[in-house]
A = this chain, B = another copy of it.
Amino acid sequence: MRAKKQNNDTIELDHGGGGYKSWELIEEIRGNMADSRRLAKKWQNCEDDAAVYNLGKQKLVFTTDAFIIDPIFFPSGDIGKIAACGTINDLAVMGAKPIGLSLSIVIEEGFSKKDLLKIIRSINNVSKESGVPIVTGDTKVTEKGKLDKIEITTAGVGLAGKIIENKGIETGDLIIASGDLGEHGIALLSQRFNCKSKIKSDCKPLNKEIGSVASYLHSCKDPTRGGLAANLYEMAEKSGARIILEEKKLPYKKEAFALAELLGIDIFSLPSEGRFIAAVSEGDAEKTLKILKKNNPEAKIIGRAEKASNKNSGVFLKTSIGGIREIEMPRGKLIPRIC
């Protein structure tokens, strides 16, 4: 009894993992912000990846993301790269052109200046690759032992004509993955648990890639925290759609399956930081894929949205032998601090 009571009174790691407990905590936070929510009437999509404000001819899109990851340097990236990409991608999945990022860094006293500047140069490289500058920032330092090395929060603003909404999936739409998923998670976990792996983090800015197909997309998300399971589930629930994934078309490399199994982790909850999943009409699917494959030959159709009643919406897996099982919003222990 005692243990259970403690769980209800304190914040636990699962509250930050991106699954069901995260959702519960966010609902509780929202419940305590009634006045703020009333004042936000001019804003839309506040529960999507970014919030949208109507400026007249165009729309302002605004989002934020906090990063306190372990390890801070990982195969093919670091906390700086992921912090810049994360926010750029959250603007891009909404159909916006990112125009600028803010960069807030909190550093533990005694942190290496060389490592700090390495992280800064990573952020600069993402700016160069994406064309999105850092335009404002804040830097704070905290006493030794009061933070694990470094924490970075980025926020971003973008401009859009038409917004791509999470709730936009239509019956009959095909679900596309822009490449193999979960590789950011695999790369960080391999390093943290000292497993050898050739898989590198997929972390990259997606604004140009999404921009090249944005007009075809009915709904789009980057499957970061909580992976495909949490993010496709959110799209399905908001759209009232029933999504059927095909087991033989799952967008994961063999090595990812093996490592997830070895570490006892649900592969569907592994995060990517440079991939997106999207819904497109059947008629647009082939041309969308053709464009995407220029960047990544792994891009593929992974499933389809069927007609759903409220009672049977969600994400389901059609197994190779013909069975159907639900892929639920992650409920169990998630691995925090990898995205």
Instruction: Note all chain B residues with C-beta closer than 8 A to A14.
Output: 141
A16 close to chain B: CB less than 8 A: yes
- From B32, B135, B155, give the contact of A40 (CB < 8 A): B135
Per DSSP, chain A at the interface is mixed
- The reply to whether the CB of A117 lies closer than 8 angstroms to some CB of chain B is yes
Q: Does B100 lie within 8 Å of A51, measured CB to CB?
A: yes
* Range of interface residues on A (Cβ < 8 Å): 35 or more
Closest chain B CB from A271 CB (angstroms): 13
Pick the residue among B11, B35, B114, B134 that contacts A9 (CB under 8 A).
B114
- Whether A141 contacts B43 by the Cβ 8 Å rule is no
Contact B336 A29 (CB under 8 A): no
A191 in the interface (beta carbon within 8 A): no
Task: Check B135 against A10 for contact (C-beta < 8 Å).
Answer: no
* B138 close to A36 (CB less than 8 A): no
Q: How far is the CB of A45 from chain B (nearest CB, A)?
A: 9
Q: Is the CB of A62 within 8 A of B104?
A: no
Which listed residue, B43, B63, B116, touches A11 by the CB 8 Å rule? Answer: B116
Residue of B nearest to A42 (CB): B99
Bound CA–CA A114/B10 (angstroms): 8
Contacts A51-B100, A102-B155 known; A64 to B113 CB distance under 8 Å?
no
B337, A142: Cβ atoms under 8 Å? yes
B138 touches A37 (CB 8 A): no
Q: Any chain B CB within 8 A of the CB of A291?
A: no
Supposing A100-B53, A142-B337, A336-B141 touch, asked if A36 and B134 sit within 8 A by C-beta, the answer is: yes
**Cα distance A209–B110 in the bound complex, in angstroms:** 40
Q: B residues within 8 A CB of A123?
A: 33, 36
CB distance from A169 to the nearest CB of B (A): 22
A107, B11: Cβ atoms closer than 8 Å = yes
Let me know if A203 is at the binding interface, CB within 8 A.
no
A196 at the interface (CB under 8 A from B): no
Taken together as a complex, chains A and B put the C-alpha atoms of A120 and B141 apart, in Å, by 24
Shortest Cβ distance from A53 into chain B, in angstroms? Answer: 6
Cβ contacts under 8 Å, A28 to chain B: 113, 117
- Does A128 interact with chain B (Cβ within 8 Å)? yes
- CB nearest neighbor in B for A156: B155
Of the 9-residue stretches A146-154, A170-178, A230-238, A277-285, which lies at the interface with chain B? Answer: A146-154
11 contacts between A and B (CB under 8 A): A11-B113, A12-B110, A13-B143, A33-B120, A42-B99, A46-B135, A62-B135, A64-B155, A66-B139, A68-B142, A143-B148
Q: Which 9 pairs show the lowest CB-CB distances between chains A and B?
A: A16-B141, A155-B155, A64-B102, A40-B133, A36-B127, A153-B153, A146-B148, A39-B133, A51-B135
